[in-house]
Structure 1
Amino acid sequence: MPNPPHIVFLGAATMDMIFSVDTLPTGPGKILPKALVQAAHGMATSAAVAAVRLGGRASLVTRIGADLMGEHFLAEITAEGVDCRHVRRFEGVPTPLSAVIVDNEGERLILPYYDSALGSDPDWIPAGFIEQADAIQVDIRWPEGAMRALTLARQAGRLAVLDADTGPSDTIIALAERATHAVFSEPAALQVSGAASIKEALPVLDRRFAGFVAVTGGASGCFWMEGEQVQQALPPPVKAVDTLAAGDVFHGAFTLAIAEGRSIRDAIVFANAAAAIKCASLGGRLGTPDRATVETLLAGR
């Protein structure tokens, strides 16, 4: 694109060790993995990488340790083309780490660790940097930072997208109230709405929040409201090898698409395709496709 939108992503950053196994563990014991992939991850991080691979410009605002693992994180994400000038490093604090186990069906078990010494203070986030972006996207892993970024973006009239994954309900609600677009995971949608299904939860959430609301449901695709009607867009069928970071890729692609001025339906179809392609290979965000691959898939449909 001649003038791609600039999106600021704020939230989670981790170094992940991804183990491939036949089946997820159900109790104590020892499992010998078939494969191991190590990669820089995190909800905001993976979404930022997706936006760049799909043709946008992305900056990352997050917190990591001033340690060797942090060096690896910065090297990987900078190599992807993401602006990491506002990744803050803390001395004597370990970079967040996740152990991820992925089974033959692509389902995963995640054990993330974020050291409390990273703190929660968001005051160091530069206001002008947020206000001058075309759009921002935040997740719920650093609520104080997300609230500051959403507030600054709304005051500046920018798109402000929330990746509303599972967490404390009051945190999700507070952030969703500040977002122009809130895209919920299925578990978070059911948790906040008290409903038993996505189709029951969506109207509740749509009435609760002033901005646009959608819910992602994995292989069931994405649901949103048009008027009083629930809409659903299914992703392209793929053989799922690894669903890790699929939601992050969806969010990064969706935010890029609406920042480009696409309609909601077109943005969701685009994001569905990007996330589906990602699921076809092991390694979390490493399977994120480029724009040409997504557009080729959509053209074939």
Structure 2
Amino acid sequence: MSKGLFVGMVTLDLVYLSAQLPGHNQKVVASDYTVAAGGPATNAAVTFSYLGNLATILGVVGTHPITHLIRSDLEHHGVRIADLNPTTLEPPPVSSIIVTESTGDRSVISLNATKIQITPDQQPIELDADVDIVLIDGHQMAVGCAIAQLAKSQNIPVVIDGGSWKPGFEKVLPFVDYAICSANFYPPGCRNSDEVMAYLAALGIPHIAITQGEKPIQYCTLGVLDQIQLPPIKAVDTLAAGDVFHGAFCHSILRQNFADSLAEAAELASYSCQFFGTRQWMKT
């Protein structure tokens, strides 16, 4: 059993399934809904735990009344919370999400973690020596940078979830072993995937992958370029596909090589897209 630390955003996700998005000044009735803890690192931690590992999410939760929904969901899925600001009374970020029935596409509105940033001088940052892998989603950048440096000094592999470029990533990347990025991840000066690959490789990152939705995953491992085809599916909900991918990758990379880990993670993420919500796929 492996132990993973997931650093980043903890939200409460309110997810609705609807035939269409509301237009201007329009109300629509959802056909289904679900409520769960969310955030890239959080959903990755849930996936990592589901696959038989010990997962801890390092982020801000606090004591606002609605945080009991977050806590109960993560407890149910075996994820431990390391709260960076356990006494805060502020509400956690709440994401409102509409999933379109016909395509599985999602529309999201959220505050992200912009109002709950923590710095190492506010909270002592420690890393247990028995942690096997660290994932950083960039939503707690100062803490993520400190954790990445500690992990590097202890030879613990560091994964980044590069969903989009965030200021401060340039300080984290030199300590990264595995950069798993979306097609929307553009470092300064980069305009396409080739330039992104070159940017990350120039920083000494040995293993890089760029996901492109249903299109093949492009990757570079120790200077060798290749791609991985994704299995064709009928998508019901793509909301947390990337998060599931990252959690599954963290599980797999501790057991096998980079390319096989990407393929295995892609298979599970694709499977999860065939169910509504971020948890239903685990029940089947």
TM-score, normalization by structure 1: 0.85
The answer to whether the aligner puts 1:30 opposite 2:27 as a matched pair is yes
- 1:198-237 alignment, distance < 5 Å: 198=193, 200-211=194-205, 212-226=207-221, 229-237=224-232
Assess, with a 3 A threshold, how the Cα gap between structure 1 residues 202 and 95 changes in structure 2: closer, same or farther: closer
CA distance in 2, matches of 1:59, 1:139: 14
* Residue 273 (1) aligns with residue 270 (2): no
Alignment RMSD (CA, Å): 2.2
Once the two structures are aligned, what percentage of the paired residues are identical? Answer: 24
Q: Following TM superposition, by how much is the alpha carbon of 1:88 offset from its aligned partner in structure 2, in angstroms?
A: 4.0
Alignment of 1:23-172 (within 5 A): 23-25=20-22, 27-86=24-83, 88-104=85-101, 105-114=103-112, 118-123=116-121, 124-129=123-128, 131-168=129-166, 170-172=167-169
Runs of 4+ in 1 over 3 A off after TM superposition: 24-28, 85-88, 114-117, 226-229, 287-290
Asked if the contact 2:61–2:83 (Cα under 8 Å) also holds between the matched residues in 1, the reply is: no
Structure 1 residues 145 and 256: alpha-carbon distance in aligned structure 2, compared to 1, 3 A threshold: same
How far did residue 21 of structure 1 move? 1.5
Q: SS where residue 136 of structure 2 aligns? A: strand
8 Å contact kept, 2:61–2:85: yes
Residues 205 and 213 of structure 1 are in contact (CA less than 8 Å); yes or no, is this contact kept in structure 2?
A: no
Paired residues of 1:53 and 1:288 also in contact (CA < 8 A): no
Give a deviation string over 1:154-190, Cα, whole Å, max 9, x none. Answer: 011110111112143x42333222211111111114x
How much does 1:76 deviate?
Answer: 0.7
Q: 1:195 aligns with which of 186, 191, 197?
A: 191
User: SS state of the match for residue 140, structure 1?
Assistant: coil
Deviation at 1:55, TM superposition (A): 2.0
Structure 2: runs of 5 or more not aligned: none
Q: Residues of 1 paired with 2:260 and 2:189: CA distance? A: 26
Question: Residue 299 of structure 1 aligns with which residue?
Answer: none
Q: Any conservation in 2 of the 1:93–1:115 contact (CA below 8 Å)?
A: no
Contact map agreement 1:21 1:32 (CA 8 A) in 2: yes
Q: Is the 8 A contact 1:159 1:259 kept in 2?
A: no
Q: Which amino acid aligns with 1:13?
A: V
Q: How far did residue 270 of structure 1 move?
A: 0.9
Pick which of 179-188 and 85-94 moved more. Answer: 85-94
Partner of 2:180: 183
Distance 1:25 1:201, change over 3 A: farther
Deviation at 1:265, TM superposition (A): 1.0
Distance 1:70 1:57 in 2: 22
The residue number in structure 2 matching 1:264 is 258
Query: Could you tell me the TM-score, scaled by structure 2's length?
Result: 0.90
Residues 1:140 and 1:227: Cα distance change in structure 2 (over 3 Å): closer
CA distance in 2 between counterparts of 1:115 and 1:175 reads: 18
Structure 1 segment 230-249 matched on structure 2, within 5 A: 230-249=225-244
Deviation per CA, 1:13-51: give whole Å up to 9, x if none: 100110112233464432222221111111111000100
1:78 partner letter: E
Separation in 1 of the partners of 2:189 and 2:209?
Answer: 13
Distance (Å, rounded) in 2 between the aligned partners of 1:246 and 1:115: 20
Q: Which runs of 5+ in 1 are unaligned?
A: 294-301
SS in 1 for 2:235: coil
**Contact 2:62–2:83 (8 Å) recurs in 1:** no
AA at the equivalent of 1:32: V
Structure 1 residues 125 and 100: CA distance shift in structure 2, 3 A: farther
Aligned residue for 1:8? Answer: 5
2: distance between equivalents of 1:115 and 1:267?
29
Structure 1 residue matching 2:60: 3-state secondary structure: strand
Q: Which amino acid aligns with 1:136?
A: V
Which one has the bigger helix percentage?
Answer: 1
Superposed displacement of residue 245, structure 1: 0.9
